[in-house]
Structure 1
Amino acid sequence: MNKIPYGRQNITDEDIQAVVEVLKSDMLTQGPTIKKFEDHFADYIGAKYAVAVSNGTAALHISVLALGIKPGDKVITTPITFVASANCVKYCGGDVVFADIDPETYLLDINKVRELVESSPKGTYKGIIPVDFAGRANDLEEFRKLADEYDMWILEDSCHSPGGFFVDSDGKNQNCGNGNFADLAVFSFHPVKHIACGEGGMITTNDEELYKELNRLRSHGITKFDDVYLNSIEFANGGNSGETQYPGWYMEMQNLGYNYRLTDFQAALGLSQLNRADEGLVKRRAIAQTYLAAFQNQPFIKGQSGVIEGHAYHLYVIEVENRLELYEYLRTKDILAQIHYIPAHLMPYYKQFGWKEGDMPHAENYYKNCISLPMYPTLLKEELDFVINTIKEFYSKDLNV
């Protein structure tokens, strides 16, 4: 049996043909396929607007910029996430404030967030970055109420959860990133994610002004001729001052932006993969159901992702005794399980700001026990069974002693 990773991309002949068609076209970057991918992704999520960028980290970076973050601004996020969720704040000179997770959901605990904002003067915190960790959606309706009360924005990190949803107070499914509660949401198209572009990211919103700002920020802060109306500019060809028409070559840099553009051939791959995104979700949820049934009531299980309505299952996490020994044993069997994540506040970079062990007890306890099992749509039944049986074998033989 081949090695079984925790995640794996699935590139089909249709994907390859879609990329080849763009490679044979006239436009390799910022061509028509980008806009088509953005429009189809916005429709899939249920948002009004989508902006494609070079990766999920770029999406986070220009999102906080568009939301107006300034040096010294405080933003709350979870320690159980890939560090980019916090780093985007530091890129802009802001201060990251971590709040602990709910040990039952592994998500940012809204009660801990409420404690932070209620114990400080109004305006102390500018925003919240909840992370849909492992594919489980945050209840953004409750976060929105808190954010509105304290004049904060919400940036939803949905990199793990395209196609995921939570159920609101009216019993309606609210898709991750649909813009009904978060000001902005970000997605990643890293190879192990639901939709793979090699690298790539997307930002969704229902706010037209934020949408326009994001388009500027991803491309050097430049606004092209068809996006602006000139005022009081004399053209080299002797044009009149005042409001005027302007030549097709005109563009202007309105603020400091970045080159965070996606290529057309990456967008073609993403668009092709988006066409079968729901099929992948069905398979991920079936795998989760198998894991749940296999590990339910097992004495070595301290916790597991379980089967939760709306979960997108980027990861399937179990909490176990003797995690390190299990991790190493699985690798001897070519099962490449992974750990998600070392708590961000315990990274050396963030410890320099005063964060230390003991600050986030639920996150730290989770980290000591967690392990992410293989989870991807092309995982074969015999591979899935092998993973489950190998884990049970490890504990039944007391190899951890």
Structure 2
Amino acid sequence: MTDRAPLPLLPYGRQTIEDDDIAAVTAALRADFLTTGPLVEAFEDAFAGTVGARHAVACANGTAALHLAMLALQVRPGEAVIAPSITFLATANCARYVGAEVVFADVDPDSGLMTPDTLAEALRRVGDRRLRAVLPVHLRGDVTDLPGLAALAGAAGAVLVEDAPHALGTTMTFGNVAERVGDARHSAMATFSFHPVKTIATGEGGMVTTNDPGLAERLRVMRSHGMVRPQTSSGPGADPWWYEMAEPGFNYRLPDILCALGLSQLAKLDRFAARRRSLVGTYRATLAPLSPLVTIAARPAWSDPVLHLMGVLIDFDAAGVTRREVVDGLRARGVGSQVHYIPVHRQPYYRDRYGALDLPGAERWYARCLSLPLYPAMADADVARVVEALTAVLGG
């Protein structure tokens, strides 16, 4: 009698690459431009149309998108930017790239989202610094209270920049008005990532959407070294090679090869979104018997998310196991998981810079959170397998 072969690992997230995606990249490789060619603008136009924004500017990755947003707003050293502590490092780091100081906001302990109340508390800690921007994060794909946050930010003389890499395809309803993440109705800009575990993938890649033509132009200039071609260099007799740089920018361009993949993936967004929503519905039904030991992260009433992460909250103390034991036990059963996120205010760099902070919502979220596998190629049977493994590890 032979042992049964172990099941392949279900990662917490992964890309879905199909034959037409490969064909699109192959065609781009055979074309005249590998970078700074026509597929960049084509991807930008298609993305802007998909989310309902007037402008979309492609860039190298989601971190570059956030950095470009700070550069477009001309955030200066010593000014302040508010970011939630439950997020990836880049949300806070983009402010430091331009010399601004980060004020960390707490989050709702059950959703992980910045709220008007936690923003109001953070505003009281800005002090005499000029506040330039508030960076709400649409964690997992669920949307923050954009009108509430925008009103508070606006009263403080700042704008919102939505950190939205988790939320492509998410819709929401505020005041009976249907909206899409990325349409920038309540914000100056929204930023996206196309890392392989996100809703669509380009390998690496990012996008910034805005309705402000001035911001869009500055984003384009700053993603390409700060170079511009003055009007005087394009007239009769002008030197065709002439360019000028008023201030240093960065090489944050996204190549045509990756834009080709982005266009192919974007055409599948509705299918990817429907499958993610279906899998989340299966998770809700299958996880229900584990409540209250395991609950799904809270969804705001206005949010109809396309979840990037299947975030659950586990009462590890009540279960009598540590999170590390759960993670290791799941992996031994072929199920990957991840933690989103360690509170950024805990990181040594920020702790040394700002001292210890008391953000109880962020700590409560972190103490219970775990992300389970979620990606379009999963079968419903995979969800059952994940929940069966989780039940076993929790002693059910």
| TM-score for both structures, normalised by structure 2 | 0.92
Conservation of the 8 A alpha-carbon contact between 2:115 and 2:149: no
Q: Which amino acid aligns with 1:367?
A: Y
Conservation of the 8 A alpha-carbon contact between 2:116 and 2:145: no
1:185-200 equivalences under 5 Å are 185-200=190-205
The change in CA–CA distance for 1:245 and 1:204 in structure 2 (over 3 A counts) is farther
1:366 aligned onto 2:370: no
Alpha-carbon shift at residue 16 of structure 1 (Å): 0.4
Alpha-carbon shift at residue 149 of structure 1 (Å): 1.4
> Secondary structure in 2 aligned to 1:180?
coil
Q: Which amino acid aligns with 2:343?
A: P
Q: Which amino acid aligns with 1:207?
A: D
1:349 aligned onto 2:349: yes
1:296 aligned onto 2:288: yes
Q: Which amino acid aligns with 2:109?
A: P
| Higher mean C-alpha displacement, 147-156 vs 5-14 | 147-156
Structure 1: distance between partners of 2:172 and 2:144: 7
Conservation of the 8 A alpha-carbon contact between 1:292 and 1:306: no
Conservation of the 8 A alpha-carbon contact between 1:300 and 1:395: no
Partner residue, 2:19: 13
The change in CA–CA distance for 1:75 and 1:120 in structure 2 (over 3 A counts) is closer
Structure 2: distance between partners of 1:216 and 1:124: 25
Q: Percent identity?
A: 38
| Higher mean C-alpha displacement, 315-324 vs 79-88 | 315-324
Alpha-carbon shift at residue 109 of structure 1 (Å): 2.2
Structure 2: state its 5+ residue gaps: 1-6
1:29 paired residue among 20, 25, 35: 35
The change in CA–CA distance for 1:361 and 1:25 in structure 2 (over 3 A counts) is same
Residues 100-142 of structure 1 show CA distances to partners (whole Å, capped at 9, x for unaligned) of 0012321012212113325766863221000001111112111
> Secondary structure in 1 aligned to 2:304?
coil
Q: Which amino acid aligns with 1:346?
A: R
> Secondary structure in 1 aligned to 2:160?
strand
The change in CA–CA distance for 1:174 and 1:128 in structure 2 (over 3 A counts) is same
The change in CA–CA distance for 1:32 and 1:285 in structure 2 (over 3 A counts) is same
Residues 141-168 of structure 1 show CA distances to partners (whole Å, capped at 9, x for unaligned) of 1122112212102110001001112211
Partner residue, 1:70: 76
1:131-146 equivalences under 5 Å are 131-146=137-152
1:315 aligned onto 2:309: yes
Partner residue, 2:273: 281
Conservation of the 8 A alpha-carbon contact between 2:338 and 2:372: yes
Structure 2: distance between partners of 1:95 and 1:20: 44
Residues 261-301 of structure 1 show CA distances to partners (whole Å, capped at 9, x for unaligned) of 01001000010000001111111111111111222252453
Structure 2: distance between partners of 1:100 and 1:115: 8
1:113 aligned onto 2:119: yes
Alpha-carbon shift at residue 390 of structure 1 (Å): 1.0
Residues 56-86 of structure 1 show CA distances to partners (whole Å, capped at 9, x for unaligned) of 0111111101111111111111011110000
Alpha-carbon shift at residue 394 of structure 1 (Å): 2.1
| Higher mean C-alpha displacement, 291-300 vs 335-344 | 291-300
Partner residue, 1:238: none
Conservation of the 8 A alpha-carbon contact between 1:78 and 1:99: yes
> Secondary structure in 2 aligned to 1:335?
coil
Conservation of the 8 A alpha-carbon contact between 2:287 and 2:294: no
Alpha-carbon shift at residue 350 of structure 1 (Å): 1.0
Structure 2: distance between partners of 1:218 and 1:109: 32
Structure 1: state its 5+ residue gaps: 236-242
Structure 2: distance between partners of 1:39 and 1:135: 23
The change in CA–CA distance for 1:85 and 1:216 in structure 2 (over 3 A counts) is same
Partner residue, 1:54: 60
Partner residue, 1:205: 210
Tell me how large the CA RMSD over aligned residues is.
Answer: 1.9
Partner residue, 1:158: 164
Structure 1: distance between partners of 2:295 and 2:387: 15
Partner residue, 1:376: 375
Structure 2: distance between partners of 1:200 and 1:121: 36
Alpha-carbon shift at residue 306 of structure 1 (Å): 5.7
The change in CA–CA distance for 1:134 and 1:245 in structure 2 (over 3 A counts) is farther
Structure 2: distance between partners of 1:325 and 1:300: 19
Conservation of the 8 A alpha-carbon contact between 2:190 and 2:209: yes
Conservation of the 8 A alpha-carbon contact between 2:110 and 2:365: no
Structure 1: distance between partners of 2:292 and 2:155: 43
> Secondary structure in 2 aligned to 1:255?
coil
Q: Which amino acid aligns with 2:153?
A: A
Q: Which amino acid aligns with 1:342?
A: I
Alpha-carbon shift at residue 254 of structure 1 (Å): 2.3
Alpha-carbon shift at residue 53 of structure 1 (Å): 0.4
Partner residue, 1:333: 333
Structure 2: distance between partners of 1:196 and 1:341: 21
> Secondary structure in 2 aligned to 1:76?
strand
The change in CA–CA distance for 1:255 and 1:386 in structure 2 (over 3 A counts) is same
